[in-house]
Amino acid sequence: MSDIAISRRSPSVFWGAAIICGTVVGAGMFVLPVVMAGAWFGWALLILTFSWVCMLISGLMFHRVSQHYPLETGYDKIVRDVLGRNWAEVNGLSLVFVLGILTYAYISAVGPVYDHSLSRLTGKTVSSSEAKVMLSLTVAAIVWLGTSSIGRIMSVLLITKIVLLLILFGGLFTTVNVDYLLDSQNPAASYWPYMLGIVPFCLASFGYHGNISGLISYYNGDHRRVKRCLCTGSAVALVIYLFWIICTMGNLPRSAFPEIASQGGDIAALMHAFSLRGYTAGMSLLFSIFSHFAVICSFVGVTAGLVDYISDRLTLPRTRTGRLKATAITFLPPLSLSLLFPDGFVRAISYAGLIATVWAVIVPGLLHLKMRSRHDSGYQRSQWDGLQLCMIMVFAALNILSWALSEFDLLPVF
């Protein structure tokens, strides 16, 4: 079959890029300026860009390996075939834990926020538990529809997010104070002690790997388009992050961030800091609307990746019924735990960044290394393979080191 025929049947790259970008750019972006305040703008920019490069490389490595397998072969089967059963189990447990914990976190943390919005929309009092159920059912319905529908819905949500972001911070971008970005008023300030602590947050800011298998099926094995989706979607996410960091760090001095962190470092704390500097109260409403779209978009992307993995791991049929079973397995346990233990994820989620290093960085690197050693596999090789593999393994080591030091309170806090 010719590339032209495949191209004609393949959906636009825009839909796939929207899934990638929408998955990684969630409400977590609001915490980036707060956690990066110690290292500040220059080092934060460097580490964020380095993290994007490493996460893109690891994603492209898995994508390259997947080209040597039948169309609907998922992450689990590829790891099982290339690295063996033990690595497949480790990889599977790490992926399910991280995506499951994120699903649990979204339901637990976001449900109470949506109860107020739903009450205003319906005119009736909606409890936190009811909001969690309604939110879960809505997202589950979107995910059950499949990658094609997810791509279109995510595109609408992503465009809305970008428009709201420009409305929110377009004015702030024009009032950026370069002296704030350069921290000129603190020439003797020390930044490097805080650099390592932001690495896990940067890894979490580009976690899209669970969606790659679904995209390959969506584009009917058109790997060139899938590669463009990964590159474009993650690059747009990087631009959004940079825009957000410049707008916040360029309008709030470094000295303001310890107080923001002490107030929780969330959206409300940031809005309070902006209000103290004379920015309009109307931003609060736009912030709230933007955060709603950001949460839904990322929630859909994360759970879609988990549904794809469960379908592959349990060998469920690629039918509406099969996807319904995978969707139920994805949503029912986190929803039930959230209703029973609404605050239970706080401790567990601290391990999410560490464990995500396994399936999003280390395993793709090992897959790539193993496939290169198979001389009869016809695996595509590049002169940059050694450098790329070294980069992502160093990135993985930095994440593990950062977690270990943080666990024993050995990392400085700004």
Report yes or no: 190 and 34 within 8 Å, Cβ to Cβ: no
Query: 3-class secondary structure for 280-308?
Result: CCHHHHHHHHHHHHHHHHHHHHHHHHHHH
Report which of 362, 353, 364 is spatially closest to residue 399, judged by C-alpha positions.
353
For 186: left if phi > 0, alpha if psi spans -120 to 50, otherwise beta; the answer is beta
Per DSSP (E only), the strands in 169-254 are: none
7 C-beta neighbours (distance < 10 Å), count: 12
Rg of the chain on CA atoms, in Å? 21
Burial class (CB in 10 A: 0-12, 13-18, 19+), 14: middle
Contacts 24+ apart (CB under 8 A), 66-71: 66/212, 66/213, 66/216, 66/223, 67/223, 67/380, 68/371, 68/377, 68/378, 68/379, 71/216, 71/217, 71/220, 71/221
Q: What is the mean pLDDT of residues 222-242?
A: 93
Q: What is the mean pLDDT of residues 240-252?
A: 90
Query: 3-class secondary structure for 238-264?
Result: HHHHHHHHHHHHCCCCHHHHHHHHHCC
Highest-pLDDT range among 74-78, 163-167, 324-328, 340-344: 324-328
Task: Assign 50 a pLDDT band (cuts: 50, 70, 90).
Answer: very high
pTM (two decimals):
0.84
Task: Assign 8 a pLDDT band (cuts: 50, 70, 90).
Answer: very low
Give the model's pLDDT for residue 84.
92
For 146: left if phi > 0, alpha if psi spans -120 to 50, otherwise beta; the answer is left
Give the model's pLDDT for residue 5.
37
What CA–CA distances, in Å, run from 268 to 265, 291, 387? 8, 11, 42
End-to-end CA, the chain: 58
- Checking if the pLDDT of 228 tops 90, the result is yes
Q: What is the mean pLDDT of residues 107-129?
A: 67
pLDDT digits (tens, 9 = 90+) for 306-334: 998 898 888 888 788 999 999 999 999 99
- Checking if the pLDDT of 221 tops 80, the result is yes
Give the model's pLDDT for residue 110.
66
Task: Assign 6 a pLDDT band (cuts: 50, 70, 90).
Answer: very low
**Lowest-confidence range among 1-5, 160-164, 368-372?**
1-5
pLDDT digits (tens, 9 = 90+) for 129-176: 888 888 889 889 988 887 667 777 877 877 887 787 777 777 778 888
- 158 or 234: which leads in pLDDT: 234
